[in-house]
Amino acid sequence: MLVELVIAMGLGLFLIAGLLSVMTHWLGADGRLLARSHLTQELGNALALMRRDIGRAGYWGRVGDASDGVNGYEGIVAPEPGCLLYRYDHRGDDRNGVSSPDDMSGFRLKKGVLQYRTKNKACVRADCDRCDQGRWWALTDPKYLRVDALEFRLLETRREGLVTVRAVHIDLRGALVRSDVAAVTMSAVVLAGGE
C-alpha cells in the first residue's frame, strides 16, 4: 500500500509539474503578445500624429486672398536623415501669406526619441530649414520605447492652384526598451499640401 501511495504521489507531482509548465508558457506568450500590442499601439499613435500634421503642410487659410500668386507656406524639406520640416498656417488667419516662426513644424529622430518641432523664434528666412533649431518636444518616452529609425522620402509633386501637393513616405521602426519582443516597423504615405 505504501508503494502504491508513493507511485500515485509521484504521478500527481508529475502531472502538476506538466500543468505548471504549460501555464507558464501560456502566460509568457500572453505577456509577449501584450507587449507587442503596446508597441504597435505606441508606434501607430506616433505615425497617426505625423500623418495628420504633415498633411497640413502648405495650408494657408486665406489662400483665396492671394493677389500675387505666392503661398508663403509652401516648402517641405528633409534636410537630413530622420528629419522633416514644413510650414502651415496654424491659426488659419494669416492675411499676407508669409509664414511666421510659430507656423514652422517638423519631426525628427534624436537619440532614440521621436520629437516634434513647434516653434523656431530664432529663425530668419535663410536658415529656417535646419533641424538643429527651434523648440523640439519629445513624443516618445525613452524609458519605455526606443525609436530605432525614422525615414522620410519626398515623392511626387503636383501643383493645384497656389498649393503644391507632395507625397511623403514615412518609415518608423521602434522597440520596447525592456522586452524581448522584436522591433516593429510601420509605414505610411501622406499627401502634404493643406488637405
pTM, entire model: 0.77
Q: Among 108, 134, 112, 130, which residue's Cα sits nearest to residue 121?
A: 134
Average pLDDT on 108-136 reads 80
Residue 158: what pLDDT?
76
Confidence of residue 195 (pLDDT cuts 50, 70, 90): very low
pLDDT at 10 over 60: yes
Residue 104: what pLDDT?
83
What is the tens place of the pLDDT at every residue in 139-184? 999 999 999 999 999 987 777 766 677 889 999 999 999 888 889 9
What is the tens place of the pLDDT at every residue in 175-186? 999 888 889 999
pLDDT at 72 over 60: yes
Confidence of residue 77 (pLDDT cuts 50, 70, 90): confident
Burial class (CB in 10 A: 0-12, 13-18, 19+), 39: buried
Residue 127: what pLDDT?
59
Confidence of residue 133 (pLDDT cuts 50, 70, 90): confident
Confidence of residue 126 (pLDDT cuts 50, 70, 90): low
